[in-house]
């Protein structure tokens, strides 16, 4: 259910009372139990070892600025450092994908649609899941939609504007791929609008709902869009 934390009552296990106000719990017992169970398995230990370098890097560069701690005042620094980590990972992914595309002769537009986009949305997905578990459903949905607006308007508009102002020319090798991607994105936006607000407008409900069935529909829509764009790009490039 897409709703804010203010609608929760005092009996909710996801919230705790602090100074007469209810706020989300930082961690739940269920989440701790799952983490401990993963550490007991062989695959869990392997995954922990793979994560260890990143965890050490995050520990020494990102201050733990939770509320009520001595590091609370350093949250702006943590925010800036977090953006720096995301930028570094994004640059690494783009370089790897570009090199991979040159070696495999697969169009870079396909790599961008399938791999770069997926890697770029992982942080947004983690953020949405985190705030949703804390009871902020509306924030999770807004984050998912707002990130797409930011990617298109700022992620494309800002570097292109800087490049044009610098006297460079932006060349698009094949506009048909961008046109097809825009059509797929438009269909997805319409589908999200129908799923989130369609039933609310029809039945005059005062809030939007996102059920498990609607989640499966969105996952299927992503797979259909991915397969459709892959087939189209490979066909016009002569690969198939």
What pLDDT shows up at residue 112?
A: 77
User: What pLDDT band is residue 131 in, cutting at 50, 70 and 90?
Assistant: confident
CA gyration radius, the chain: 22
> What was the pLDDT predicted at 5?
43
Half-sphere exposure of 211 (CA within 13 A, CB side): 6
Whole-number percent of the chain with pLDDT over 90: 0
Q: What is the pLDDT of residues 9-56, one digit of tens each?
A: 444 444 455 455 444 444 443 333 445 555 567 777 787 788 888 888
Cβ neighbours of residue 85 closer than 8 Å, sequence gap 6 or more: 57, 58, 61, 62
Tell me the average pLDDT across 59-87.
84
pLDDT the model gives residue 92: 84
How many CB atoms are located within 10 Å of the residue 81 CB? 15
Does the pLDDT of residue 228 top 80, yes or no? yes
**Would you state the structure tokens that stand for residue 142, as one six-digit string?**
């807004």
Sequence-distant (6+) residues with CB within 8 A of 132 are 139, 140
Mean pLDDT of the chain: 75
Please provide the distance, in angstroms rounded to a whole number, between the alpha carbons at the two ends of the chain: 43
**Backbone CA torsion sign across 130, 136, 140, 146:** negative
Report the C-alpha gap between 36 and 32 in whole angstroms. Answer: 6
pLDDT tens track for 206-218:
777 777 888 888 8
For the ranges 28-32, 43-47, 70-74, 109-113, the lowest mean pLDDT is seen at 28-32
pTM, 2 dp: 0.59
Map residue 22 onto helix, strand or coil: strand
| The pLDDT of residue 39 | 57
Instruction: Pick the range with the lowest mean pLDDT from 43-47, 145-149, 170-174.
Output: 170-174
> How many CB atoms are located within 10 Å of the residue 233 CB?
24
Cα angle, residue 5 at apex, residues 75 and 122 outer, rounded to 5°? 55
Over range 214-238, report the average pLDDT.
84
For residue 17, how far is the Cα from the chain centroid? Answer: 30
């Amino acid at each position: 259910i897409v709703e804010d934390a203010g609608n929760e009552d005092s009996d909710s296990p996801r919230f705790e009372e602090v100074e007469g106000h209810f706020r989300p719990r930082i961690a739940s017992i269920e989440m701790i139990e799952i983490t401990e169970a993963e550490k007991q398995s062989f695959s869990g230990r392997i995954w922990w070892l793979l994560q260890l370098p990143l965890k050490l890097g995050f520990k020494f560069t990102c201050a733990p600025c939770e509320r009520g701690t001595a590091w609370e005042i350093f949250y702006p620094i943590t925010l800036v450092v977090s953006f720096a980590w995301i930028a570094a990972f994004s640059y690494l992914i783009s370089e790897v994908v570009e090199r991979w595309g040159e070696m495999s002769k697969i169009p870079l537009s396909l790599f961008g649609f399938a791999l770069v986009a997926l890697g770029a949305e992982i942080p947004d997905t983690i953020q949405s899941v985190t705030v949703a578990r804390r009871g902020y459903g509306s924030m999770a949905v807004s984050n998912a939609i707002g990130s797409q607006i930011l990617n298109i308007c700022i992620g494309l508009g800002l570097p292109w504007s800087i490049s044009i102002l610098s006297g460079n020319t932006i060349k698009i090798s094949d506009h048909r791929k961008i046109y097809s991607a825009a059509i797929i994105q438009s269909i997805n936006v319409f589908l999200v609008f129908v799923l989130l607000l369609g039933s609310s407008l029809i039945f005059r409900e005062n809030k939007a709902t996102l059920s498990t069935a609607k989640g499966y529909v969105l996952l299927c829509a992503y797979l259909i869009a991915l397969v459709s764009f892959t087939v189209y790009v490979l066909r016009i490039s002569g690969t198939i």
